[in-house]
Amino acid sequence: MNVWEENHRRKKVGTSTIDDLYDCYYNELVLWADTILNDMDMAEDLVQDLFVALWEKGIDRQLESKGVRAYLYTAVRNKAVRALKGERKTVEF
């Protein structure tokens, strides 16, 4: 049984799939964000913020199993790039 089949099974009994996505992808997404940001603490915060936003919006229920990993990696990349752009703006006067 793959992760998504397990998630769907759990969802039927009332367990949130966002927890499963977090458990499955958190570490690799933090490493991905760190390669962009070169700041592990910032990478951890960014990925945690992403999962909170997904949970608040209920997006985990809308993701299709085949595209979830790509969606998460793209979301992390976009948030990391925005964070870097914001960081540059605060440094420049």
Distance CA 12, CA 46 (A): 30
Domain extents for the chain?
3-91
Q: What is the pLDDT of residue 15?
A: 43
Q: What is the pLDDT of residues 8-43, one digit of tens each?
A: 544 443 344 888 889 999 999 999 999 999 999 999
Q: What is the pLDDT of residues 37-88, one digit of tens each?
A: 999 999 999 999 999 998 888 876 666 667 888 999 999 999 999 999 887 6
Sequential DSSP letters for 34-74:
HHHHS-HHHHHHHHHHHHHHHHHHTGGGT--TTTHHHHHHH
CATH of the structural domain 3-91, one choice from 2.40.50.100, 1.10.3720.10, 1.10.1740.10, 1.10.1040.10:
1.10.1740.10
Has this prediction a pTM greater than 0.85?
A: no
Residue 71, both tokens: 């969606």
